[in-house]
Structure 1
Amino acid sequence: MSRVNPILNTDSYKLGHFLQYPPGTQAVSGYITTRGASMQPEIVFFGLQMFLKEYLSRPITKADIEEAQEIAALHGQPFDRDGWHYILTAHGGFLPLRIEALPEGSFVHRGVPVVQIVNTDPACFWLTSYVETALLRAVWYPSTVASSLRHVKQTLKPFLDKSCDEPADIIASRLFEYGARGASSLEQAGLGGVANLLHFDNTDTLEAVLYARRYYGAEMAGFSVPASEHTTMIAWGQDQEAQSFANMVDRFGDYPAYSVVSDSYDIHNALSEIWGKTLQQKVRSKPGMLIVRPDSGDPIDVPVQTVAQLAYQFGTRLNGKGYKVLDDKVRVLQADGVSLRDITMILGRLEAMGFSAENISFGIGASQLQKVSRSTYSFTMKCSAIMDGQGKWRDISRRPVTLQERMPEPGRRAVVLEGGELASVALDSLGRRTNYLQPVWENGRLLQDLTFDEIRARARTPHRMDQ
């Protein structure tokens, strides 16, 4: 038996919903969207394919039904044994559902449906709402991380545009993701980590590259560099700090880049004496780039001073925009708990001192993978239409409590391109326009198998819907 019973991958109260619909109901249609209004697109849709492959691709079994019936009885809920046995015998255990979705990586306003779902067998009309818990969870988390990190990327962009010769070529390398230890589970590390890789190329979360490989066919979606941590540095003792640094250069200097945490004892001595004098020629003799990590201390002042001290010791050149760039043998990585506000202040101060933003990159962790919730972008799933016994669709919607409350639109929806941006319209008003909500799953079959490269390309060029 699988450790995840698909029948129990829902809320307890939904176990009894098969008894609550009007007599004769044949189908229920619903969609996932984000509540609220926004003047600009702000949601990156991502993650559905991982759920389809991992959870919906496995049929339910007789053992799943037996376990679910026992749990429901002990838990105080009714159980539709006949309904689940019907799915097992009539559909081979695969859920009779059709799921439509926008292309993953799409960038949309709030209020635009990203997923639409309907049952394909009238006997299973209750199934649409039943899978809400699992389906919504599968979408909101990776989409929220992807949306939040796009905001980070857009915050970095003006600094790079102003002070770098080729900002588009380096922006994806400005963040290193270290979120695995701060995640609540291995699955969250994978889901959040792979969402980060839509926008940034560097990660130390192995589960992120495994998810991109397993669910989207990416041979290698993210990159890392050999790096030290405080344990491997202080193991040498303070009197052998220079030797610990030299060992890193000897072991990893032939790699394209290698990262050395340098604040175990005195970051200023490490910069001015060890890196700047004792080991400078050794660093220069190797083909790889040394990435110095100051990590601790004042999160704004220390990385700025690290760039300045390396500039004094190793020298700089002026780029085409007149900003100072460190010698190609050295760069700086601030990887210890910097906030987006800290990053903007660091880059602003460096810019004021005449340094290009390309001199420094940043590490992110739990702040991006953990400090989000479904409410961050107000993700919701609403059932919006019902088919009665005569086969006629009827729009359904609850009444708002106040005039200020904006409800999801009723009825079956379509998504079209209007003015270069995706917009929601009623399905029966689609006409000859292209509907970007396309079938991706039906009755146990994956209808589209997207690659990570195409999703990443779409996320990085959000209005090119032909990709």
Structure 2
Amino acid sequence: MFQDQLRDCIKMESVENVLYVADSYKVYFSCQGIMYNIRNNGRYMLDKKESVKVTHHNQYPEGTTHVYSYFESRGGKFPEVCFFGLQYIIKRWLVGPVVTKTMIEQAKQFYKSHFGGLDIFNEEGWNHIAEVHKGHLPLKIKAVPEGTVVPVKNVLFTVENTDPHVPWLTNWFETLLVQVWYPMTVCTNSRAQKLIIARYLHETADSIDGIHFKLHDFGYRGASSVESASIGGAAHLVNFYGTDTIAGLQLCRKYYAAEMAGFSIPAAEHSTITTWKKSGESAAYLNMLEQFPDGSVSVVSDSYDVFHAVSNIWGDELRQYVVDRANKGCVVIRPDSGDPSHVVVKEIMIDVIVVCFLFGAIIWYQHLLFRTTVTK
């Protein structure tokens, strides 16, 4: 199920997902008429690792020609992982001519200074790559298809050198490649939450239709950087369609050929509600319904008193407006603060919504959607 959704949503380039990064100057891939051209784009590849890697080329036994390495999840909170993110790393950093003579000279001077005057940078090895392979990396990377759910302690991808003169190159990019842990962790966590949501939808709802929108990504503002937001945001989209993290959408478009991998709806924030002042809270809510008459709309309702807002404004004053647009889209009432198990489940969903609305009601607590259907 999750693999199928990934391939439908993110459009994998290859089921086998085998990439020879030194094959060509340009790598093209297409999906639904979209063509992408991955170029160097100013990438500087001789610093994408820890310092210690610079000293490893002369540490292998004499005569070593081939190094074969693998990556696995050793275990953690979950017994299995959902693999995702390697394609981005490879296409972002490793594809095409990524090494030049100028880069090599700069790296030589940099590492000589970094290591206190020791001239230990592998200038000869990198010049071999620049001259013989025209700056392409003689590496072969094989991986399970992205989106695959794999039990822990199994190989997820392998790396090996294809030129016997550079066996040290296999592990040079370990530092970069193992960063797949982050999208893989986000993807695995997101999938685990999806399984929980599916279980309770089976128990409490008529169907699990719409599950792809039951966990919405608002993580952009909480991420450590734009890049981490894009990587984590893309990983979330393996399992769900709902997102406000535009950076994740852009990554999916550029590196996975997904024209539009996720979706959102018009939504209010506290600043757009409180500018109406407390006396205008009802008018602020009504304005949202009038400005967005069709489709779903999300209205944050805890700027002052969420219980008053739900019972007296939404459940009384604006009740008919909500009822009248029931077939046009969902009115999402957001209590963005408090303990969700108390605020959403008890105080609002049971004590207020059920009393005010005898039809399907949806309450959205930040990223979680809860649904109940009530009949007389």
Question: What TM-score results when the alignment is normalised by the length of structure 1?
Answer: 0.67
Are positions 1:112 and 2:143 aligned together?
A: no
User: Where does residue 293 of structure 1 map in the other structure?
Assistant: 334
How far the C-alpha of 1:230 sits from its partner, in A, is 0.6
- Equivalences for 1:5-404 in 2 at 5 Å? 5-36=44-75, 41-59=79-97, 60-76=99-115, 78-137=120-179, 139-167=180-208, 169-254=209-294, 256-286=295-325, 287-304=328-345, 305-308=347-350, 309-316=352-359, 326=360, 330-335=361-366, 358-359=371-372
CA contact (8 A) 1:294 1:306 kept: no
Which of 1 and 2 has higher RCO (CA within 8 Å, sep 6+)? Answer: 1
Partner Cα separation in structure 1 for residue 122 and residue 338 of structure 2: 59
How far the C-alpha of 1:171 sits from its partner, in A, is 2.1
Aligned AA (2:244): D
CA contact (8 A) 1:194 1:211 kept: yes
Pick closer, same or farther for the CA change 1:209–1:157 going to 2, 3 Å: same
Partner Cα separation in structure 1 for residue 267 and residue 75 of structure 2: 43
Partner Cα separation in structure 2 for residue 173 and residue 34 of structure 1: 28
3-state SS of paired residue (1:202) = coil
Task: Report the number of matched residues.
Answer: 326
CA contact (8 A) 1:177 1:203 kept: yes
Pick closer, same or farther for the CA change 1:37–1:179 going to 2, 3 Å: closer
Partner Cα separation in structure 2 for residue 153 and residue 203 of structure 1: 15
How far the C-alpha of 1:211 sits from its partner, in A, is 1.3
Q: Deviations over 1:280-303 (max 9, x none)?
A: 222333323210001112332111
User: Where does residue 37 of structure 2 map in the other structure?
Assistant: none
Pick closer, same or farther for the CA change 1:37–1:215 going to 2, 3 Å: closer
CA contact (8 A) 2:344 2:363 kept: yes
Aligned AA (2:344): P
Partner Cα separation in structure 2 for residue 279 and residue 214 of structure 1: 43
Aligned AA (2:183): P
Aligned AA (2:365): Q
CA RMSD after TM alignment: 2.0
Q: Deviations over 1:181-236 (max 9, x none)?
A: 11111111111111111111100000111111111111111110100111111111
Q: Deviations over 1:42-95 (max 9, x none)?
A: 111111111111111142222321221122011106201111111111111111
3-state SS of paired residue (1:46) = coil
Partner Cα separation in structure 2 for residue 48 and residue 66 of structure 1: 29
Question: What TM-score results when the alignment is normalised by the length of structure 2?
Answer: 0.82
Aligned AA (2:324): S
Pick closer, same or farther for the CA change 1:37–1:299 going to 2, 3 Å: closer
Aligned AA (2:343): V
How far the C-alpha of 1:36 sits from its partner, in A, is 4.3
Partner Cα separation in structure 2 for residue 63 and residue 232 of structure 1: 53
Partner Cα separation in structure 1 for residue 248 and residue 241 of structure 2: 11
CA contact (8 A) 1:41 1:107 kept: no
3-state SS of paired residue (2:185) = helix
